[in-house]
Chains A and B, each alone.
Chain A
Amino acid sequence: MSDNGYAIRLEGVTKRFGKHTAVSGFDFEVPRGVICGLLGPNGSGKTTSIRMIMGILNPDEGSVSLFGEDPDKTRREKVGYLPEERGIYKKMKVIELLTFFAEIRGVKRSEGRKKAGVWLERLGLSAWGDKRADDLSKGMQQKVQFIGTVLHDPELLILDEPFSGLDPINQDVLEEIVRDFHAKGTTILFSTHLMHQAEQLCERVCLISNAKKVLDADLKALKASERKGIVAVEFEGPDDWIRGPEVDHTEEIDNGLHLILRDGADHQAILKRGVDSEARILRFDLVEPKLHEIFVRHAGAGSVGDAGMPAGAHPGGVS
């Protein structure tokens, strides 16, 4: 282990395909033990960046290091990689396929086979070990591929769009496994264009758009700095209490209102008026800025496409 605190470090990485620049001057660091989301719309350069980290593409400019070392030395044994375009040998038996994937990552055959069995069990696929891979459904194949990614207990997991193509139940299963790895201290970088997925999982996010990095920060700190005074309220009875010097204007939302506060105003005063009034308050909720909104704010509307969450009320809150 080196004393370098970063699992991944990219410095000024640029990649061009002919006249098209896919990634431009990308500086990016992922500290050890962190779950980091690489976010951006389709075609923004996420997969190209990941392929350069994995040594599948060579950057035209800049450098990549993993754990402070030459990536060619560390990649094979320390890194697990789930590519965006999934690929398995369709005619192989699942268990043999997994043993092969483990073997090329430096795991002994017998050990790889054993671990593959454990993982198949965990993901509910133990009955499928002796089946040919193309007998499995798409979702199952994807789970098999994920198992192939982690059999050598990597210190760094790089997952390119890991959730795409999975049903909600399996998305949850995968999310839980990613959390488990995180708890064990594994560094995880995953790309997604689904903002809510990133919001639930990530500690850090890196937003890229049109080949350029837009934002790279700790998610909590980012949200705190981006927080604007918005309160979602739901109530029955008179509404005179919501009007006051703190409130700039209101916007209607499903089942209630958004109160947009003036700069520096304190929401506490509004709440106090509400409690003293005749109204029955069902909900009084400070709205966190959505990653989607932050992204749109930084990258410009439209660049997120249809992928983000609709801006809406935060679930839960006072009731």
Chain B
Amino acid sequence: MSNVWAVIRREYLQRVRSKWFVIATIGGPLFMIGITVLPAYFMVQNESDSRIVAIVDGTGVLYDRVAPRFEAAGYDVREEEWNVDIQTELRQSTTEGDLGGFLMMDDLTLETGDATFYVTDRPSSIRSLSLQSAVTRSALEYQLTQQGVDADAMLQGGGLNIEMLSDEGANENEPAFFVAYIGAFFLYMVILLYSVAVMRATLEEKTNRVVEVIISSMKPWHLMLGKIVGVGAVGLTQMAVWLASGALLAGAGIPALVAARPEMVGLESIKEVLPGLGMLALFLCFFILGFFMFSGLYAAVGAMCNSDEEAQQAQFPVIMLLIVPIIFVMQVIQDPMSTLATTLSLIPIFSPILMWARVAGGGVPAWQVGLSFVLMTITVFAIAWLAGRIYKVGILMAGKRPTLPELWRWVREA
């Protein structure tokens, strides 16, 4: 077994020390932050300097509700009494730069939530949204309060208490579409990424003939195992870094940002959709089982090919096994208990993506999840057996790629 360790160590250290690993691991999260948070930040940043806003409240009841919300969005607010010339006056001070803009509300505002915000620079879309909701919310609150309704509770979204009348899924989490959907895609991505890495490593060893030296001192199966575990460990390392930086962003980065820029308070809501630790552990289990199944298949593909181009073609049937569940993932999330969803998610090779989607989406009986884990584990061993045999013959074979009957002969004879 010391051989296998040597292979694992080499595979792991070579990859983790490479420039690309460092770039992808650190650059990945930075890129994500870059495309989500920064544009919002700069959009807010770039607006005009004058933040004084005049509010003309034609209704006489909305100012007290609207003003604090504008202040929260970063404006200084002052009230102007309505008169016939007010609009002309305010237009002038705004174009001259004394005012950042002015908001006109009238009776229609109370009925439909429409109001007009006069500015010289278009506010960022994020700020527009929050200003718009400031007005409509204020109008709604006012109207509801008039009816004797608890507007706050209602506008928070109320609360639908779900009472389960059967045991099935009683202790499942609440449906979380975001986690299910993004998680499924992320699983697809990382399983593919690292399995292809196993294929490339196999192909490289084969084409530069190192394999002959190695095979003369260890069983091909051990070499394959070492490569898969080594690359898998790299994948786990990379994800650990990503998760840690994600946790850091959610736990420290966003609060800091919000503290510095109160108008970006909306970012806080991201936290509500983040998965918990239990979900992360489940995610890793699906990744590990999925990776073991697909990396075995990809190792076999690498072993039977002689060049990158050949491997690109030969991997097609394998990649289909990953794409099929992605095609169905939407349907499965929307109706996780349908026959289609149940059947597909229990097919072991589809389970990593589809069973994940069902579990994360909520409401899957525990026994089905357990069954899928058992089936996946059996499949991991079956694929290892099959791929190990193809690998053993293929890795030393030069020349034409084998046809299916030839492949079957390899499996039988190895």
Q: How far is the CB of B409 from chain A (nearest CB, A)?
A: 12
* B343 in contact (CB, < 8 A): no
Interface SS of B by simple majority: helix
Contact of B10 with A by CB under 8 A: yes
A54 touches B (CB below 8 Å): yes
A86, B6: Cβ atoms closer than 8 Å: no
Q: A149 vs B215: C-alpha distance in the bound complex, in angstroms?
A: 13
Q: In the complex, what's the smallest C-beta–C-beta distance from B394 to chain A, in angstroms?
A: 13
Which B residues lie within 8 Å of A41 (CB)? none
Contact call B213/A83, Cβ cutoff below 8 A: yes
B2 at the interface (CB under 8 A from A): yes
Smallest CB gap from B398: residue in A = A85
CB distance from B302 to the nearest CB of A (A): 16
Is B6's CB under 8 angstroms from A81's CB? no
Known: A56-B396, A101-B213. A87 touches B208 (CB 8 A): yes
B7 within 8 A of A: yes
Whether A81 touches B14, Cβ cut-off 8 Å, given contacts A57-B396, A103-B6, is: no
| CB of B209 closer than 8 Å to a CB of A | yes
**Residues of A with C-beta under 8 A to B6:** 100, 103-104
Question: B75: shortest Cβ distance to chain A, in Å?
Answer: 57
Q: Is the CB of A88 within 8 A of B208?
A: yes
Q: Which residues of B contact A100 (CB under 8 A)?
A: 6, 10
Query: Which residue on A lies nearest to B395, using beta carbons?
Result: A56
Residues on the B chain within 8 Å of A92, using CB: 10, 14
Interface SS, A side: loop
Q: Is A232 an interface residue (CB 8 A)?
A: no
Complex CA–CA separation, A91 to B208 (angstroms):
12
- Contact between A103 and B218 (Cβ–Cβ < 8 Å)? no
Given contacts A79-B216, A91-B14, A92-B14, contact A103 B209 (CB under 8 A): no
Structural contact, A104 and B212, CB atoms closer than 8 A: no
> Which of B10, B14, B213, B218 sits near A87, CB closer than 8 Å?
B213
Size bracket of the B interface? 20 to 34
- Please indicate the chain B residues that have their CB under 8 angstroms from the CB of A105 in the complex: 217
Interface centre among B7, B212, B216, B396 (most CB of A within 10 A): B216
B200-216 interface mask toward A, CB cutoff 8 Å, 1 = contact, 0 = none?
00000100111111111
| Assembly CA distance A95 to B208 (angstroms) | 19
CB of A56 within 8 A of CB of B216, answer yes
Candidates B7, B205, B208, B217; contact of A76 at CB < 8 Å: B217
A55-B210 in contact given A100-B6, A100-B10, A106-B2 (Cβ < 8 Å): no
Query: Is A90 at the interface (CB under 8 A from chain B)?
Result: yes
Give every chain B residue within 8 A of A96 (Cβ-Cβ): 10
- Separation of A83 and B208 alpha carbons in the complex (Å): 12
Q: Does B3 contact A (CB under 8 A)?
A: yes
Whether B213 lies near A148 (C-beta < 8 A) is yes
Contact call A90/B217, Cβ cutoff below 8 A: no
Measured CB to CB, the nearest residue on chain B to A85 is B209
Least CB distance, A91 to chain B, in whole angstroms: 7
Taking the closest CB of chain B, its distance from the CB of A47, in whole angstroms, is 10
Whether A90 contacts B208 by the Cβ 8 Å rule is yes
Number of residues of chain A lying within 8 A (CB) of chain B: 28
Q: How far is the CB of A76 from chain B (nearest CB, A)?
A: 5
CB within 8 A of A104: which of B3, B205, B396? Answer: B3
Which residues of the other chain, A, contact B209 by a CB distance below 8 angstroms?
83, 85-87
Inter-chain contacts of B208 with A (CB < 8 A): 87-90
Contacting residues, chain A, for B214 (C-beta < 8 A): 104
Chain B residues closer than 8 Å to A213, beta-carbon distance: none
The reply to whether the CB of A113 lies closer than 8 angstroms to some CB of chain B is no
- Known contacts: A56-B396, A100-B10, A103-B2. The answer to whether A88 contacts B210 by CB under 8 A is yes
Q: Name the CB-closest residue of B to A77.
A: B217
Which of A55, A57, A81, A106 has a CB less than 8 Å from the CB of B213? A81
User: Across the interface, do B210 and A104 meet the contact criterion of CB distance under 8 Å?
Assistant: no
Shortest distance between the CB of B8 and any CB in chain A (Å): 11
How many angstroms between the C-alpha atoms of A51 and B216 in the bound complex? 9
Question: Mask for A45-59, Cβ within 8 A of B = 1, else 0?
Answer: 000000100111100
CA distance A209 to B210 in the complex (A): 28
* A75 at the B interface (CB under 8 A): yes
- A83 touching B217 by the CB < 8 A rule? no
Interface mask (B342-373 → A, CB under 8 Å = 1, otherwise 0): 00000000000000000000000000000000
Instruction: A89 to B11: give the CA distance in the assembly, Å.
Output: 11
- Chain B residues near A88: list those with CB within 8 A: 208, 210
Complex interface residues of chain B between 1 and 50 (CB less than 8 A to chain A): 2-3, 6-7, 10, 14, 18
Q: How far is the CB of B205 from chain A (nearest CB, A)?
A: 8
Chain A residues whose C-beta falls within 8 Å of the C-beta of B3 in the assembled complex: 103-104
Pick from A55, A56, A91 the residue with the most CB of B within 10 Å: A56
Bound-state Cα–Cα, A86 to B209, Å: 6
Give residues of chain A (22-79) contacting chain B, Cβ–Cβ below 8 Å.
51, 54-57, 75-76, 79
| Given A92-B14, A104-B6, A106-B2: A54 and B216 interface contact (C-beta under 8 Å) | yes
Contacts of A76 in B (CB 8 A): 217-218
Who on chain A is nearest to B218 by CB? A104
Closest B residue, CB atoms, query A76: B217
- A38 CA to B209 CA in the complex, in Å? 22
Tell whether, in the assembled complex, residue B217 and residue A104 are in contact, meaning their CB atoms are under 8 Å apart.
yes
Q: Which of chain A's residues have a CB closer than 8 A to the CB of B215? A: 55-56
Chain B: CB-nearest residue to A160: B212
B14, B208, B217: most-surrounded residue (chain A CB, <10 A): B217
A39 CB, nearest partner CB in chain B, Å: 22
Known contacts A81-B213, A87-B210, A100-B10, then 15 further A-B pairs from the complex at CB < 8 Å, ordered by chain A residue: A55-B216, A79-B216, A83-B212, A85-B212, A86-B209, A87-B209, A89-B10, A89-B210, A91-B18, A92-B10, A92-B14, A103-B2, A104-B7, A104-B217, A105-B217
13 contacts between A and B (CB under 8 A): A56-B212, A56-B216, A79-B216, A81-B216, A83-B216, A86-B209, A87-B211, A88-B210, A92-B10, A100-B6, A104-B3, A104-B6, A149-B213
9 A-B pairs closest in CB distance: A87-B209, A87-B210, A103-B6, A85-B209, A83-B212, A54-B216, A76-B217, A87-B208, A104-B217
